[in-house]
Every structure is written in structure tokens, then in C-alpha cells.
Structure 1
Amino acid sequence: MALVINSIFFVLCAIVGYLLHDIGFFSKIIVKRDKTPKMTIAGVRFRGPYQNTGKSFQELEKKLTEAKIDVLYCGLYYDDLQKVPADKLRTFIGAIIKNPNEETLSKLKELELEIIEIEEQEEAIHGYHQMSSIKMLQSISFMTAPMRVYPAMTKYIEQNPEITGYVRSDYEGKNLPCYEIYDREAKQIHFILSKSNVKEVLVDFK
């Protein structure tokens, strides 16, 4: 009987370990300085708790899939959780358009999506986290990754005192979101912190 219980316990531990590994719980967090390319992003505005954005992402994905537009999904997160009430948090639920030609832009307008242009940035802080390969678990990756990546990015900035313009206090009064790009093909979540002197995004999103 003890052998059976031990075997079951071992199997359960192995399954839990595999799942934790798959969602990136043990993955190395990569943080570096790099350019941010020009991006065309289409989507919708959302106000409320960040964890409640799932339904809006699903609706956006349904629209873009039916329209056969090739994209990378992303979230633009504007507010500091520690300073802004949950019901006031601002998100732009979006998708980076891989081929923003005239035909594609016309389709996006028909879908009544807002289109924003992000200018190229000479320098930004980039963080990378593994995304689960199991679709059902990807939502867990989306929740756990920020809890690991943002502290790692903060530590990176603190360890490189020559870097300026990236702390939240530098953003006060400005519409400068933190970007999270969900690359399912690469199984990676890509985080971007812009410098405080770059062009603001959705200035009227107050």
C-alpha cells in the first residue's frame, strides 16, 4: 500500500513539476537594452482590473481571426497597481499588425478598431519570459510572468545607475504604457519599458 501511495505521490510531483516548468516558473528571465521597432497596433481601450482583460482579448482575437489578419497580440498597461484603484486601471488591448498595408488598415477600420502608431525607440528596457506551450495554461503564464519580469527589470535598472528615465516616477502625468507582447509562435512573452522622453501613446486616454 505504501508503495502505491509513494508512486502516486511521485507521479503527481512529476506532473506538477512539468507544468510549472512549462508555464515558465523556472525559466531564466532575460533583461537587456535594445531598440524598439516601429509598430502599428490595433485594438480597444479597457478600464478596470488588469486580470479582467481576458474577455476583451478573446473578442479581439475572434474579430482578427475571422478577418484573416496576421498579428501578434499585446497589451499596453498604463497604470501602477500600487497607486491606482483597480477599477481605474487603463489597458489598450491590442494586436501588432504584421503587414500594415492599405488593405489591412481598411479591414481594421471596418472592424471599428482603434489604430495607433508606435514610433521606433533608440533604447528601451526589454524583458523576456517563457510562455506555456499548452494553450489552456497560457493564461497562467500571462499572470505569473509580470510577477517575475517587472522585478527583474527593476533590479536591472538599479544595477545600472547610468540608466535614467525608466522608473515609474519619471512617468507621472504621461501616457507611457508598459508593453507586453504575447508571441505564441516563439512561446515567449516580451516586455518593454519605454524611456520617459519618448512620444506619449493615446494622450486622451485619461
Structure 2
Amino acid sequence: MNLTKDQRSLMERIINTAETGKAEGNYAAISIYADGPHDIKQITYGRSQTTEYGNLRKLVKMYVAANGTLSAALALYAEKVGSVPLTDNADFKNLLRSAGKNDPVMRIIQDQFFEETYFSPAIKWADVNGFTKALSALVVYDSYIHSGSILWVIRQKFDENTPAFGGDEKKWISEYTKARNDWLLNHQRPAVQASAYRTKAYLSQIEKENWDLSIFPINMNGTNVTPAGNG
């Protein structure tokens, strides 16, 4: 999939806005939601938000290895993340906030981390399955950031094949986004239900036929987003 500079920038800024309310992202953002395994509370952190029982350990280890200003302090927690509950650990959360706010190394590591852990796997999935449109890439990327993958529980709710298997790209993305929207709205967790603003934003772009993401700003949860340097 060949994305232009503006398409790539717009995608990242839309995801950042969906996660932290800021197009440039909030590298220090921490939220606590009861959406961990068995609905336990967990920390979500960073520019595009990664979770305590997901990939936060990987991010912390990457930062520790990069010798940032707070790497030595966070090294004490690196092996605990995801194994020992840290939602009530004020020291750990303060270290994450401070590193995200004050240390350029953390911001560099986060950019690398979100690229390697979410964006690249999402684009690889899109390529393997025959998708070519920028809006398709955005929908897939959002799914990887928000759910870790294209969830089978959603995929099985409609019949269209991916383009690689003879399906129509626009129809697949439309039906997937509608199915995902319904799944979010009917989820047992209120926080997940509330996140349907993401799919509603993409359904709006599908309705506008904005497949190459050339029409902007794009409204994400009340914030108008443009590529960097375009508004």
C-alpha cells in the first residue's frame, strides 16, 4: 500500500485524536479503565495509548534500553508491567507522565513503538488482503490500535470477502465498519460502548466517498483533524 505523506500524517493524527483528544498526541497521557483481563482495571498510556496488560511492558523496556533520563527509575518496573497490578502505583504513573512530558527520548521511543507494534502490522495485514485505499488503511490501523487486530467476532458478522479473495474493497470496509460499530455499541463494557465515536467517524468518511483521505478536515469525536502543516 502506497500512502502519501499527507495520508500517513492524517491517519496518525486521527488515531492520536481518537485516543487522547489531540492530533499531535499526548505522550504523557494516562487513563485507567476496567477493560483488562476479566474486566480488571489497567493503565493505558502514551501518544496513541497502549495498555498495561497489552504492550505497555514492551514500550517501557524499549525506553529503558534507550537510556532516557528516567530509564533507570522505570527499569525497576519493567518486568512487573502486566504481571503485577500497577494502576494504584503512584510512583510508576508519575514516572510515565514525566517521561512522556519532559524526555524527548520517550517521545522518540513512542513513535518507534507505535510504528512497529501497531501501524506496520496493520498495513501488512491490509497489503496481504489486497486493500489499496487510504481510508481502508485507516480503518484497519484503528482496529489494530483499539483491539489489537481485525477481530474474528466482528469479521464473521458479514459475508464479503477481502479483495485478495475476490471481494470488493469498498464493500468490505463498509460492512466491516458497520459491524464493528454495532459490536462496540452493544459491548458489555460501557467504556467500549462509548468508543463507537471512532466507527461513526469512519462511516461518515465512507458516506462521503473519501477513500483517498483527500477531503479534510476530518471530524474525530468533535475535533477537526488535518495532516500536519495543513491547518
Q: TM-score, normalised by structure 2?
A: 0.27
Q: Which has the larger share of strand?
A: 1
Q: TM-score, normalised by structure 1?
A: 0.30
Higher relative contact order (CA 8 A, sep 6+): 1
Q: Which has the larger share of helix?
A: 2
